[in-house]
Structure 1
Amino acid sequence: MTRRPRRNHTPVFKAKVALAAIKGEKTLAELAQQFDVHANQITQWRSQLLEGAADVFGSETRAEPPVSAVDVKTLHAKIGQLTLEDDFLEGALSKAGLLSAKR
């Protein structure tokens, strides 16, 4: 007997098979034959669907979406660098007579 090459099933197909298993209108053997997958695989997809079903409707203690972490030290360093450059350029332009004393 030759082995079949490994197949990758789409999430839509997995959900369809798992829902058919949950309905219980056919036995696992019948579903396995209909969808051409092993009965153990159907059982696994069914249990994954049942475990993740609560996440579809959200949980009571919904976690806040992760806020992008901003490195405050880096931002302060950049502000300091830009302030220093601004002060330097202001002084250099004032000495050269290209910048008035008042802005």
Structure 2
Amino acid sequence: MSTSAKLIDPNDPQLSIGRQCELLGLARSSYYYQPVAVSEEDLMLMRLLDEQYTRTPFYGTRKMTKLAQPTRLWSRTQTGPSPASHDG
């Protein structure tokens, strides 16, 4: 939680959380934000991509994606519409 978010009193009867955030210049979502731990799979993927980038820093996004696909690690990259979004 940021320093500004720690100043917010959720039990204040006169100022809502939204108003307190506004007065502090803080986005309300920042007050509610809960950090998420990075998964082991994501850490492994980041390590592999970092190693590849260190060897070949001139590779672009397309080339790196193509290299990662055979390992099935990069399953989040999809091109085109998903089957669920097809009208028909």
Do both proteins adopt the same fold according to a TM-score greater than 0.5, normalized to the shorter chain?
A: no
More helix by share: 1
Using the size of structure 2 for normalisation, the TM-score is 0.27
Higher Rg of the two aligned structures? 1
